[in-house]
Amino acid sequence: MSNQQGTLTACIKTVAKKGHYDYGILQLQSNQQTDTTVHVDDTILCTYAIPFHISIPEFLNFVAPVGSFVSHYRVIRDTTPDAYMVLMKFRDPQSAKDYYKQYNDRLYSSMEPEQCKIVYVESVEISATLPYTFPFLNQPDEIDLLPTCPVCLEPMDENVTGLLTILCQHTFHGHCLSKWGDGSCPVCRYSQKPMTETQRVEPERMIGDQNDENECVVCKSNENLWVCLICGHIGCGRYVGAHAYEHYRETNHIYALEINTQRVWDYTGDGYVHRLIQNLVDGKIVELPSTEATGDHTTTQEKQDAISLEYSYLLTSQLDSQRIYYENKKDQLATQLSSLSSQVESLTGKVTEIKQKNQKIETKNKLKEQEILGLVKGKEKADKKLQTWKEKCELTKQILLEEKEMTNSLLENNSLLLKSMHDREKAIKELSDQVRDLMFFLDAREKVQGNPELEGGNIETHTRKQPSQSNNKNKNKGKQ
């Protein structure tokens, strides 16, 4: 059922809070002006600023826990770009409060920043002609036949199940539309999702000039185009690149349609055959009525049948050439296929040889890896031995240093001992001289005492000459 009454948009004007709840005035606008204001109860809430990338089924899944308490959903385009709002009429005020507490400022998804914004609708300012399915309008008391849901074909009664009216103003059961996969309207295929640039351009190209989408398959020109009536090849005319004529010479397809004038050209007869054609009834050359001709120039049914037969003959005459053309194509493809098969066989042989070479190389690589492992183990052993010899060398160096220190200390002790021995020899020499002098004195005294005549005499002593230094050295050597 369609309730389309023109494009309907709305915006929310927030007012002062009442307790812990936000209230707003819903302003409806349309191209049909009917200014009025409606006050509503506390069972209608507005979820606004819903981004278009969240489809209606996704929103219904989002609010599914409270779906049984909603009697009617109404989707309206928001004045905010790429957004819409949903009016929800609850069955009782308590369910509306629970929905506000649970969903206000709640994220639609943990991966996206958009939050669910909800306000109570205090009143509605209407500048539009509204359908009767609008949530806050009272339904007629007596309805002979309830509308049926376009999806399940069951009667739509908001007292039994929740209803949903989308942007195109078609109404369904809420659970029916939630199962509709692509998010578009099941009736008119309207989709709330914004169109991409490619989607916007395609319809314009489909309804615009045919030259906008047709182009020569060779030079990509879009001027003076001809389409082959046999195979559909599109090429440019003789005054551009003559690719349509080249196609005729390659394929022998003699009929081509000029896209601009919708005339058919016969390459064999080198003339148009669409506008001027020979009538089979009277043999006269007649001109077919153009697309702009009026009903004043209509031909008889007999001539029209003859013309249609003539066209059928013209196209049928090309079936043989078309068959020959495609048979040649088939032969060419078969030849190419055989050549490709031989190439594949040769390549398969090369691949087999390469695989064998790879296997040999892999075997050599494994042997080399084993050799490398053996060399690595030998290197590890050599490193261990080298470390042991280094430790021994360090120990030997330490011992050598200790021996040198000991030798130096022994040399110092030896020099000290030699010096001490020299001092002792000198002291012994002095003592020897003293002993000799003392013995001489004693001996002289005994002689004097034994011989009184020598009493009062003088004793003379003779000093010895000091020996030379060389003699002393020799004596010292002799003593050593």
pLDDT grade for 32, boundaries at 50, 70 and 90: low
Q: Is residue 131 pLDDT above 70, yes or no?
A: no
pLDDT at 371: 92
Confidence of residue 268 (pLDDT cuts 50, 70, 90): confident
CA dist 165 and 395 (Å) reads: 98
pLDDT band at 296 (very low <50, low <70, confident <90, very high): very low
| pTM (two decimals) | 0.38
Is the pLDDT at 5 greater than 60? The verdict is no
> Which of 234-248, 257-271, 313-327 bottoms out in mean pLDDT, i.e. has the lowest?
313-327
pLDDT (0 to 100) of residue 33: 54
Reduced to 3 states, what is the DSSP secondary structure of residue 286? strand
**Mean pLDDT score across all residues of the chain:** 76
Distance from C-alpha of 83 to C-alpha of 392, rounded to nearest angstrom: 86
Does the pLDDT at position 294 exceed 50?
no
Tell me: pLDDT of 4 over 50.
no
| pLDDT confidence tier of residue 37, bands split at 50, 70 and 90 | confident
The answer on pLDDT for 34 being more than 70 is no
Number of Cβ within a 10 Å radius of residue 328:
12
Across 6-20, 51-65, 408-422, which has the greatest mean pLDDT?
408-422
From CA 199, how far away is CA 219, in angstroms rounded? 26
Interval 345-393: pLDDT, tens = 999 999 999 999 999 999 999 999 999 999 999 999 999 999 999 999 9
Q: What is the pLDDT of residues 209-231, one digit of tens each?
A: 443 468 898 888 888 899 888 77
Indicate the pLDDT class of residue 232, thresholds 50, 70 and 90.
confident
The confidence band for 292, taking pLDDT boundaries of 50, 70 and 90, is very low
pLDDT at residue number 300: 61
pLDDT of residue 164: 74
pLDDT digit string (tens) for 149-165? 777 777 777 777 777 77
Please classify residue 275 by burial: count the beta carbons closer than 10 Å to its beta carbon, then call 0-12 exposed, 13-18 middle and 19+ buried.
middle
Q: How confident is the model at residue 129 (pLDDT cuts 50, 70, 90)?
A: low
Higher pLDDT, 396 or 183: 396
Task: Kindly indicate the confidence band of residue 136, based on its pLDDT and cuts at 50, 70 and 90.
Answer: low
Helix (H, G, I), strand (E, B), or coil: what is residue 52? coil
CA distance 4 to 190: 12
**Of 28-32, 137-141, 320-324, which has the strongest mean pLDDT?**
320-324
Percent of the chain with pLDDT over 90: 23
Question: Identity (one letter) of the amino acid at 203?
Answer: P
Percent helix, strand and coil across the chain, each rounded to 5? 45, 20, 35
pLDDT for res 275: 46
Q: What is the mean pLDDT of residues 412-441?
A: 91
Q: At 2, is the pLDDT very low, low, confident or very high (cuts 50, 70, 90)? A: very low
Is the model more confident about 186 or about 350? 350
User: Distance between CA atoms of 434 and 218, rounded to whole angstroms?
Assistant: 143
CA trace torsion 235, 241, 245, 248 (10° rounding): -50
For residues 355 and 6, the model is more confident at 355
Higher pLDDT, 12 or 225: 225
- Residue identified by tokens 């009062």 is 456
- Mean of pLDDT values over 317-334: 79
**Alpha-carbon gap, residue 8 to 4, rounded angstroms:** 9
Instruction: Report the distance separating Cα 1 and Cα 168, nearest Å.
Output: 11
